[in-house]
Structure 1
């Protein structure tokens, strides 16, 4: 016989295992909150902007070809600013106790399409150190780019500053907990259906009729044993009633 699963049976399965689903969800949320607040190191972000545009005198007019050339140079400058030539000087001047590879992983370059401005983004466990690395990298880049490219068309548009109420960009405990709750619910529901699938015991008359395809004629109910203390109390009462009956009869 082809097995069919009704929507009512699905809800009954979820209702029966609701405590398990809730337990798994709560445990997942607690683990996520513990890791987010006590294990993961907060990371702060600071950024500075660099403009690629050669200085012009008052007599020089706007040249669209030159602007387009500066826009194309942004991609080249994005590679140069993370090169060992720049990062080694930044590491030496700030006395950083990290390798150039680690320093390179902390720095990200972002630029909008067809824009002469690109952003230098630095992430670090310390907000002050992130700002120092961003500003120093921009300064070293501005100093060395004329000798590298034989052109002086890079200038610092804005410097990185540390706000008084700076907050880390990661981890985000609320987001992590929300994700953990969703994952916990999914895992809990999956475990509930798995346990229901592995449970092959017969619990109701409907299960018997469905498997054996035979009608149920009768049901033997579960009779609980009478406690011995109750039996001992009822026996003297019975004797007393018989004694009274014999007395009245005489």
Structure 2
């Protein structure tokens, strides 16, 4: 026989385990806050841009679509070259960085919009000043060495990375982490509540008996506590003494004079 659960039963289960759900939500939020503010190291980003174009072009001539398409195709190659050891080893040496070229590569992200000749180089590092230096040095080194590598001088820097007065970290994002933790805590709490309810096979009501035995309930034997029995005995005794005193009271005689 297939069992179904109604919306009312779902609400009852959640109300029954409400403290457990709230505890998991609060606990998850506190853990996320502690990790975000005290455990994770803040990181900063700095970006610079360069454009891939023709090095020598007549100003009076019209733009050639084929040349633009060729430059766009070159960007995919340039994206690989700029993160290669041929470029990054010089950056590490020039800035005297305490990391290897492969570690520097993991800090660099190169991107470009579709069919765009503009390339953005973004560097992420715990030190905002160092992130600016690495971004600018990487693009400058790439611009110097690309003529020897590709025999082409078609890279021009559009904008350099600059140090902001009050840089804001890009990660971690405490509020976002806490919000995600609250949602996950609520989901886990509701899941555990229904799991505990599913594993609880004790009989608590007449409906549970009917569901498990498929027979109607004919009668109920109520549980009487000891305090209720003592109170009942005291009440009966008081009533008995009250009736006895009322019936045995002496009557006054009235004499005629």
For the superposition of Structure 1 and Structure 2, which TM-score range results when normalised by the shorter chain?
0.7 to 0.9
Distance 1:48 1:2, change over 3 A: closer
* Per-residue deviation, 1:123: 0.6
Distance 2:217 2:17 in 1: 28
Aligned mates of 1:4, 1:145 — CA distance in 2: 69
Match of 1:67 in 2: 68
1:89 is the counterpart of 2:90: yes
- Counterpart residue number, 1:21: 21
Change in Cα spacing, 1:153 to 1:2, as seen in structure 2 (3 Å) is closer
Backbone CA RMSD of aligned residues: 2.9
| CA displacement at 1:105 relative to structure 2 | 0.6
Q: 1:158-197 maps to which residues of 2 (within 5 A)?
A: 158-197=159-198
Alignment-derived partner of residue 47 in structure 1 = 47
- Return the alpha-carbon distance in structure 2 between the equivalents of residues 155 and 213 of structure 1: 83
**Residues 220 and 161 of structure 1: is their aligned pair in 2 closer, same or farther, counting only changes over 3 Å?**
same
Do the aligned residues in 1 keep the contact of 2:136 with 2:161 (CA within 8 Å)? yes
Distance in 2 separating the partners of 1:55 and 1:222: 100
- The 1:203/1:143 distance shift into structure 2, 3 A limit, reads same
Tell me, which stretches of 5 or more residues in structure 1 are unaligned? none
Partner residue of 1:112? 113
The superposition leaves residues 1-25 of structure 1 with CA deviations (integer Å, 9 ceiling, x where unpaired) of 4433222222211111111111111
Query: TM-score w.r.t. structure 2 length?
Result: 0.85
Runs of 5+ consecutive residues of structure 2 not aligned to the other structure: 252-257
Q: Which residue of 2 aligns with 1:3?
A: 3
Q: Deviations over 1:192-233 (max 9, x none)?
A: 111011111111111112222333233233323239x999x9
Give, in angstroms, the shift of residue 133 of structure 1: 0.3
2:36 and 2:3 map into 1 onto residues whose CA distance is 45
Q: Secondary structure at the match of 1:226?
A: helix
Aligned to 1:126: 127
In 1, Cα distance between the equivalents of 2:150 and 2:13? 70
- So what's the TM-score if we normalise by structure 1? 0.88
Q: Is the 8 A contact 2:85 2:102 kept in 1?
A: no
Range with bigger deviation, 89-98 or 147-156: 147-156
Counterpart CA distance in 2 for 1:2 and 1:75 is: 58
Structure 1 CA distance, aligned partners of 2:206 and 2:63? 89
**Partners of 1:168 and 1:65 in 2: how far apart?**
41
Moved more, 209-218 or 121-130: 209-218
